[in-house]
Amino acid sequence: MPEFGDSISKAQKDYRVNIRDSHRSDKIKKASHNHPIADQRHVAKKAQQRYFEKSVENVSMDIIEYKSEMTSFEFKILDTMGYLQSITIRKDEITCSSPGCTKKCHHLVWIFHKIFKMEKSCPLIYQRNFTNADWGKITDAFPERVPTTDISNYMPKNQVFKVGVKKTEKTAKCASCKTSLSLGDIQASTEGPYRTLHLNWIKRVFYFCPRTECISKLPRNTFIKTFEDGVPVLYDTDLTYEQKCLL
């Protein structure tokens, strides 16, 4: 009859039983409590972080104006494409004037990152509405001062649209519809701030077709006032009544 120890060894070998102390189930459970798993609810999804890297990281925009209250934050920014956008952040909703920001809004994510100093891994910056706890974090993160782009030196004191006959041979394009304006054409012009390709601000003259539709539209990369903002129109004395009626 085999010894008891031999029987145990044979059973371990036949059925591959592992009874080493280091593999005891009670030790595994105890070890798991010493290394808690991170709560994934407080970390943005990988797809959201990839969106951040593609659309927000190393992106430059200009904050022109802002307004902060306990119930809302409002921003006017010139985005990377040179369009003026209005973004409003409220507890129950986010609004952006860009037609492309119906589902995702990189302007919003950029503001949360640059102004509120939230990292790309923070899920709050991708949300479109917030809980009371979330809103408390947002209001606490808002800084005392927001750096804005000062364009006051490039804004004329009394902006006007001047309408007259083009007297130079240098061609120009309408800042709104891009129609070429040549010598002898009727044109409207005004002066104001312009952001160059190198993201520098200068004062320049904008030329337009003599149409209400063109002078009522804000050109890209600028913050001039349009005809719809109440800017007056001055006509050259050389223009005929019919020419003045073009506008």
User: pLDDT value at position 57?
Assistant: 94
* pLDDT band at 13; cut points 50, 70, 90: low
- Whether residue 37 has pLDDT greater than 90: no
- pTM for this predicted structure: 0.75
User: pLDDT value at position 71?
Assistant: 94
* pLDDT band at 241; cut points 50, 70, 90: confident
Residue with tokens 């899920």: 123
The per-residue b/e assignment along 71-103, b for 16 or more CB within 10 angstroms, e otherwise, is eebebbbbbeeeebbebebebeebebebeebee
* Backbone phi, psi, residue 161, to 5°: -100, 125
Residue ranges of domains in the chain: 40-141, 152-246
Q: What is the dihedral of CA 145, 81, 109, 202, to 10 degrees?
A: -10
- Whether residue 18 has pLDDT greater than 60: no
For 132-175, the pLDDT digits (tens) are 999 999 999 999 999 999 988 899 889 999 999 999 988 899 99
- Whether residue 214 has pLDDT greater than 70: yes
- Whether residue 245 has pLDDT greater than 90: no
For 20-34, the pLDDT digits (tens) are 555 555 555 554 445
Distance of CA 61 to the CA centre of its chain: 7
User: CATH classification of 152-246 is 3.30.1740, yes or no?
Assistant: yes
* Backbone phi, psi, residue 222, to 5°: -150, 170
Tokens for 32, please give them.
């798991």
